[in-house]
Amino acid sequence: MLDAAIRHRFPGFTLDIAFQAPSPGVTAVFGPSGCGKSTLLAAVAGLLHPDEGRLALDGAVLLDTAARIAAPPERRRCGVVFQDARLFPHLSVETNLRYGLRRAPRGAEGPGLEEITALLGIGHLLARRPAALSGGEKQRVALGRALLSRPRILLMDEPLAALDAARRAEVLPYLARVRDRFRLPMLYVTHALDEVDRLADHLVLLQAGRVLASGPVEELAARTDLPLLATRRDAGALLACVVLGHDPARGLTRLGFAGGELRVPLQDGAPGTPIRVRVRARDVAVATEEPRGLSVQNILPATLEAIEPMGALEAVLRLRIGEALLLARITADAAARLGLHPGQRIWALVKSVAFAGPGG
Amino acid sequence: MLTPEEWGAVRLSLSVALRSVVFGLPPAVLMAWLLARGRFPGRALLDALVHLPLVLPPVVVGWLLLVTFGVRGPVGSLLDEWFGMRLVFTTSGASLATAVMSFPLIVRAVRLSLDAVDPGLEAAARTLGAGPIDRFATITLPLIAPGILSGAITAFAAGLGEFGAVITFASNIPGETQTLPLAIYAATQTPGGEAVAARLAAISFALAVAGLLLADLAGKRLAGFLGRPAR
């Protein structure tokens, strides 16, 4: 587990952050640009020396300004993946990959070059120079280089932010594979919510240099009191699902979740594969009677738990479906017209196509 | 075509310029690194001092060397006492004067290429476990190699023609300190020496042009080898 407390004053901006990142697991650090998330990562890696702070990784103290302890970056064993890859231009891909491996402590255990190249699909690139790689390939090599340095924690600073949508889609599955294969704590800095949905277990929300909230991703996604999340167009509940089965003829996949089943456009993954879906609040409609003759594939009986006003004209409904919670964003007028009140039995309607596309 | 004495001047010029580069290069790289990456009080003053030979009259630089490294100077007297080494009026002295004059040329070239090296690469090397010397040797040095090479070749070419500082500090002794430009000067002072002066001047010209072309070519080759587009 990474135990972090950092305070650092910049001209006109103060970073004051404390949080814990469980190990193993992916902790996403999420926030708008300029909130201090990359600074935080640099402080953990040791590339920035904060005014005050304490950092402990699985009991080993990396930094304790009160005790005048500050391990230099080269001895922290933090594998860092930078946004701009930072491959050494004068070295081949293979020499880049071996750079950290050759400098890792003798006793440290970890994957070998062959395993990493196979896992990341970069075996055919070994003889090339970084200049001859695509953006996605660069990031995969950078990821491999960090993993091969036998790190105790993996720090990723918006590794996909510099890539276009196609390249992002190419690299994201590799990040998921790394997460599943290595029992490493990972700190993942991003401002893209779909990356959080796909990869993270825990979420640290940063705003203006402070921790707004932190906790399990599903828990934070269901909160409506965090404007940073709740006012986004893609705000909504995250459901932990399992693939139940595919129906290729109808182009649908059935997903099971704690409150029932969802039908979504055809997904990858054998039955039993866990998958997390974000049900955007703006894609959920409600009905006070069981509707008939609708194209909507998912009609879920629910209990209306609470109605939370959002601005003057809209409301967010908290819908309890078995163990799970869905959020629905509707106009205040609709809520009044239907006479919605907490405790009411209603039906939640979610179109299948709402799950298509990025983040679905 | 050339008399043995004239060949001697050419050879001496090449030897003096080569030695000035060989001994001047390591401190120049270190100085460039200090000026580019160091954060210490007095950096601006040091920067100015390094560049002084570019703007001072070479005769003044030679005179300062004479005062410092002369047999009665503060450094020269110690060298004489400890090692029995005298720089004034010797080939080594000519090399020293040339090295001091071309020092800012190398520092400038190396510093330009240091500024072009992304400090992020050095930071990445740090996170991968590389200590300061390791980082410098494996990342920084290879990446500034084009700058070092082109600086060295430029300094060599300029060193072939150093006149004022050499003649002031090392004098004009044939076979000892009489390099090409000094030989040309001597020839122009000799009645009937115009032909000699013209021949030596042509050689000077050819060497200078070859040096500049070589510097450009080597820089491009090396940049390509280092995986960066040649500029």
Tens-place pLDDT, residues B14-56: 999 999 999 999 999 999 999 988 888 989 999 999 999 999 9
**Does B127 contact A at CB distance below 8 Å?**
yes
User: Considering A193, A221, A249, which residue would you say is the last residue of a domain?
Assistant: A221
Residues A245 and A206 in one domain: no
Residue of A nearest to B141 (CA): A90
- Is pLDDT of B229 > 50? no
Q: What is the pLDDT of residue B83?
A: 86
- Kindly list the residues from chain B whose CB atom is less than 8 angstroms away from the CB atom of residue A90: 142-143, 225-227
Angle at B56 between CA B50 and CA B59, to 5 degrees: 120
Pair (A215, A293) in one structural domain: no
Q: What is the CATH number of the domain that holds A206?
A: 3.40.50.300
The verdict on A217 and A123 lying in the same domain is yes
- By Cβ distance, the residue of B120, B125, B142 closest to A84 is B120
Write down the H helix ranges in B56-193.
58-69, 74-83, 91-116, 119-127, 132-135, 141-159, 164-169, 180-189
Q: Do both A200 and A242 map to the same domain?
A: no
Q: Is residue A244 part of a domain?
A: yes
CATH of the domain at B121: 1.10.3720.10
- Domain co-membership, A65 together with A143: yes
The per-residue pLDDT for B30 is: 92
pLDDT digits (tens, 9 = 90+) for A45-67: 999 999 999 999 988 999 999 99
pLDDT tier at B230, thresholds 50, 70, 90: very low
In a domain, A347, yes or no: yes
pLDDT score, position A89: 93
Count of the separate structural domains present in chain B: 1
Q: Could you tell me if residue B230 is inside a domain?
A: no
Which regions in chain A score pLDDT beneath 70?
357-360
User: Same structural domain for residues A45 and A180?
Assistant: yes
Structure confidence at residue B7 (pLDDT): 87
pLDDT interval class at B174 (50, 70, 90):
confident
Q: Which of B128, B228, B229 sits opposite A100 (nearest CB)?
A: B128
User: What is the value of pTM for the model shown?
Assistant: 0.82
Are residues A74 and B127, on separate chains, in Cβ contact within 8 Å?
yes
Q: Which value does ipTM take for this structure? A: 0.83
Q: Is residue A185 part of a domain?
A: yes
B131 inside 8 A of chain A by CB:
yes
Does the residue A227 lie in any domain? no
pLDDT tens digits, residue range B197-218? 999 999 989 988 888 888 788 8
What φ, ψ does residue A155 adopt, rounded to 5°? -110, 125
Structure tokens at A236: 């909504």
- Find the domain containing A296 and state its range: 236-355
User: Is pLDDT of B231 > 80?
Assistant: no
Query: Are A139 and A202 within one domain?
Result: yes
Question: Is the residue at A231 inside a domain?
Answer: no
Nearest chain B Cα distance for residue A131, angstroms: 6
The model's confidence at residue B123, banded by pLDDT at 50, 70 and 90, is very high
Q: Are residues A247 and A217 in the same domain?
A: no
Domain count, chain A: 2
B124 near A CB under 8 A: yes
Cis before A24? omega within 30: yes
Which of B124, B130, B226 shows the shortest C-beta gap to A86? B124
Asked if B4 has any chain A CB less than 8 Å from its own CB, the reply is no
B139 has a chain A CB within 8 A of its CB: yes
Asked whether residue B231 is domain-assigned, the answer is: no
- Cα three-residue angle A97-A103-A104, rounded to 5 degrees: 95
A144 shares its domain with A263 = no
Q: pLDDT value at position A344?
A: 93
**Same domain (yes/no): A285, A204:** no
- Test B123 with A79 for CB contact under 8 angstroms: no
The β-bridge partners of A17 are: A6
Task: Confirm whether B171 is domain-assigned.
Answer: yes
The reply to whether residue B127 touches residue A90, judged by beta carbons under 8 angstroms, is no
| CB contacts, 8 Å: A86 with chain B | 118, 120-121, 123-124
Co-location of A93 and A18 in the same domain: yes
Q: What is the CATH number of the domain that holds A271?
A: 2.40.50.100
Instruction: Assess if residue A118 is contained within a domain.
Output: yes
Give the model's pLDDT for residue A82. 95
CB atoms within 10 A of CB A3: 16
Q: What is the pLDDT of residue A357?
A: 56
Domain that holds residue B135: 4-225
How many residues are recorded in chain B? 231
Quick one: closest CA in B to A101, which residue? B128
User: Does residue B227 have a pLDDT over 80?
Assistant: no
Give the Cα separation of A268 and A275 in Å (integer): 10
Considering the domain architecture, whether residues A245 and A214 belong to the same structural domain is answered as: no
Q: Is residue B48 part of a domain?
A: yes
